[in-house]
Amino acid sequence: MADEFPFEISPMFEGERVRKDDMYVELAGPKSKGFELVNAVETDEIEDGKFTLIGPDISDMEEGGRYPLAMIYRIAGELVEPDLEAIVERRNHDFQNYIQGVMHLNQRYDVWLRINKDSIAKGLNSFEDIAKATMMLFTNELPFIEKIEATYITDMEKVEEELAKAMERYAARDERTRNLHDEDVDTFYGCSLCQSFAPTSVCVITPDRIALCGAINWFDGRAAAKVDPEGPQFPIEKGELLDEIGGEYSGVNEVAQKLSGGEYNRIKIHSFFEFPHTSCGCFEVVGFYMPEVDGIGWVDRDYTGMAPNGLAFSTMAGQTGGGKQVIGFLGVGVNYFRSPKFIQADGGWNRVVWMPKVLKDKVLADIPAEIVDKVATEEDAQDLDTLKEFLNEKDHPVVKNWVADEDEEVDEDEESTGTSTAMPVFGMPDPAMQLNIPPMTGGGSGGIKITLKNAKVSIDKIILSSKK
Amino acid sequence: MKVVAITGKGGTGKTAVAAMLIRWLVDRDATILAIDADPDSNLPEALGDVVGQTLADQREFLLEERDNLPPDTDKELLLESRIYSILSEQHGYDLLVMGRPEGSGCYCFTNNLLRNIMDRIIKNYDLVIIDTAAGLEHLSRGIIRDVDELVVVTDGSRRGLRTAERIRDIEKELDLKVRHMFVIFNKVTPENRERLNKYAQELGLEVAGMVPFDEDIARFDLDGKALSELSGTSPAVIEMENIIMKLGI
């Protein structure tokens, strides 16, 4: 079949680089303009296999020249829908790299192509060959594409005109991907990169929760797992939804058990207190519970000062890291602050009382309007006393949890003054506030196993009572 | 395709040796990827080249911009393209500068992408020559895997030899799967030639060559002139012939 083309087609040509010395023409790329776009259309709108070129062809191009290039594919089929456009479009990269002597780099409006001199010598002189080979690969490899039509543009004015239209399509697509949530997918992704230094770390990446390092979102997980499912990023079948608010899934729990070597068997991905996500050590931000105000503060890697609990990022990171579930601390990626499910099991933003100004400004647009002025920064509060004052003054939602016993509050203030800049002592919560200690698991019938490793939490009172 | 890493203590002339090797190989029609992996070194200068951006700049770009990119951006494709765009493409060789070390954030994922990208890139060349610091940082991060030949350049000093010994230990520790390790003596004079050979033997280091002290190199260095313009009859350049035979490249 490939005989009809003046070049060979094979996955073995992937990664083939066309150096400047060997290049006949350069298309699009950082020094010119171009894009690739796949549009889903109705079956009767297109003619299968049709190719249109607007602008000069390869044979009209000067050796060593640089030209703009737009590649627009229109696809149709019973199963073709707009949601598939992005996935199909990304394959243009793969397929064009299967063509010997053609180098395709990057994506969307950043595509960059080069054609090798050897290919020209072997008879490649028209974009039609490249487009037809690419369309053939599209329909062979993605059988749901029943009809495909291609338009290539090498005329700068026309490329610019079409690019403006394409940008609108991309923007609409981005809007859709930003609105993708945990409930919309069947598969999450896991990452084991951190296990080299945090062996029990279980990193779960979902549409609503970026990896702790901030580097891997759900789409990155999907892309990496597709290339190498045995690699460091791998799919996790969600399984059964066990707790909607906390974000607990049977599939995640199974993976947690396996990945942590049995250390953890439950993870709630949107919970701070109950079976929280493990913290690797790579996290961009660490959250810390302050029982004195029943609120959660966050401090990022770049903030070198002390948080109101008297601790620096590095100290808390040291305590939290290592791939453990540490109640009272939680590592997250910055983008998690933009998640609509941000620690939703524990009140979400209504529980956030403090963060460094730079971090707050970074995510400002995503903080709910009614709480944004009530979250303190180092400019408002440097220790627990000033934080309390600030929260009280702003009537932060956590304040209503304190008022139940005002008298005791006063006593505690006195007591805690001296310790507010020392190590955190979680021993003085107001009786009215409840630290949501998770039920210890592994009980079953007869016997109880409590494992506290490297614990620095002191508890005022534990009440064990039988279920009524 | 073969990967040769050239390392050694600062000031021993490892960059000069790397530049001369590259020059010699390009003259013989090999296609080379030259990688400057030593933040303190000046391989571009020695090759008469000016490089604007580094691989580290691209890595930082991704770190800075990742939350602003379209969510489904393929970051490996993006990073690959940016690295291709900063390669200095010269006749016979491309030059990549690694740039400054990592910052404080987490680079696990980005480095993993870089590993895949570098694996793909280096396959396109007959030879990859890496000028790297004695700590072998980029090798230890695994961004460039599978070094075939590790060459330690050292001068006649005891300390230089000690560095060679230490590098051998690091190499073992890192389990780099280096096929051979060689030492090249640089700035060799007729007086110390025999003694250096003996030292190397005592330490169990295989000698790939002895580059004689060369007035021209010292002068080029002072004038900031590219070593790639050294005359083909320079004694140092002639020694490259022997070294290449010995290295089997």
Q: Which pLDDT does position A398 carry in this prediction? A: 96
Rounded Cα–Cα distance for residues A186 and A203 (Å): 17
Share of chain B above pLDDT 90, in %: 45
Residues A358-385 pLDDT 10s: 999 999 999 999 999 999 999 999 999 9
Q: Considering Cα of A216, then A217, then A220, then A222, what sign does the dihedral take?
A: positive
Under the banding of pLDDT at 50, 70 and 90, the label for residue A410 is very low
Rounded Cα–Cα distance for residues A223 and A232 (Å): 12
Chain B residues with beta carbon closer than 8 angstroms to that of A19: 31, 89, 94, 124
Residue ranges of E strands in B38-126: 88-90, 93-97
Nearest beta carbon to residue B109 from set A15, A110, A215: A215
Nearest beta carbon to residue B84 from set A93, A105, A174: A105
Q: For the residues A188-206, what does the mean pLDDT come to?
A: 93
Rounded to two decimals, the pTM is 0.85
Q: Are the C-beta atoms of residues B21 and B157 closer than 8 Å to each other?
A: no
Residues B113-125 pLDDT 10s: 999 999 999 999 9
Q: Which pLDDT does position A432 carry in this prediction? A: 37
Partnered with residue A65 across adjacent β-strands are A25
A107 touches chain B (CB under 8 A): yes
Q: Which two tokens stand for residue A197?
A: 């230094």
Rounded Cα–Cα distance for residues B128 and A314 (Å): 39
Q: Residue B125's closest chain A neighbor by CA?
A: A17
Residues A77-108 pLDDT 10s: 999 999 999 999 999 999 999 999 999 999 99
Rounded Cα–Cα distance for residues A435 and A431 (Å): 10
Q: Are the C-beta atoms of residues B39 and B97 closer than 8 Å to each other?
A: no
Q: Which pLDDT does position B9 carry in this prediction? A: 82
CB spacing of A19 vs B91 below 8 angstroms: no
Q: Which pLDDT does position A404 carry in this prediction? A: 63
Q: Which pLDDT does position A452 carry in this prediction? A: 62
Chain B residues with beta carbon closer than 8 angstroms to that of A17: 84, 121, 124
B58 touches chain A (CB under 8 A): no
Q: Which pLDDT does position A424 carry in this prediction? A: 41
Higher pLDDT, A54 or B13: A54
Q: For the residues A188-200, what does the mean pLDDT come to?
A: 92
Q: What is the DSSP letter of B128?
A: E
Burial B118-150 (b: 16+ CB within 10 A, else e): beebbebbebbbbbbbbebbbbeeebbeebbbb
Residues B17-73 pLDDT 10s: 999 999 889 988 899 999 999 887 789 999 999 888 999 999 999 999 999 999 999
Q: Considering Cα of B168, then B173, then B175, then B176, what sign does the dihedral take?
A: negative
Rounded Cα–Cα distance for residues B246 and B249 (Å): 8
Q: For the residues A134-153, what does the mean pLDDT come to?
A: 97
Give the β-pairing of A65-67 and A23-28.
Answer: parallel
A112 touches chain B (CB under 8 A): yes
Rounded Cα–Cα distance for residues B101 and B99 (Å): 7
Under the banding of pLDDT at 50, 70 and 90, the label for residue A113 is very high
CA atoms within 13 A on the CB side of B48: 14
Taking the CA atoms of residue A220, residue A221, residue A223 and residue A226 in that order, the dihedral angle to the nearest 10 degrees is 170
Terminal-residue alpha carbon distance, chain B: 9
Whose tokens are 């035979």? That residue is B245
CB spacing of A110 vs B78 below 8 angstroms: yes
Q: Are the C-beta atoms of residues A148 and A109 closer than 8 Å to each other?
A: no
Q: What is the distance of C-alpha B20 from the center of its chain? A: 12
Residues A415-443 pLDDT 10s: 444 444 434 444 333 333 344 444 444 43
Q: ipTM of the predicted structure?
A: 0.90
Name every residue whose Cβ is closer than 8 Å to that of residue A138 and which is 6 or more positions away in sequence: A73, A75, A88, A91, A95, A145, A148
Give A136-141's long-range contacts (Cβ < 8 A, gap of 24+). A136/A1, A137/A9, A137/A91, A137/A95, A137/A98, A138/A73, A138/A75, A138/A88, A138/A91, A138/A95, A141/A91, A141/A95
Q: Residue A223's closest chain B neighbor by CA?
A: B74
Phi-psi region of B175 (alpha: psi -120 to 50; beta: other; left: phi over 0): left
User: At residue A176, what is the residue type?
Assistant: R
CB spacing of A19 vs B94 below 8 angstroms: yes
- From residue A434, alpha-carbon distances to A109, A429, A431 in Å are 53, 8, 7
Q: Would you say residue A406 has pLDDT above 60?
A: no
Higher pLDDT, A8 or A435: A8
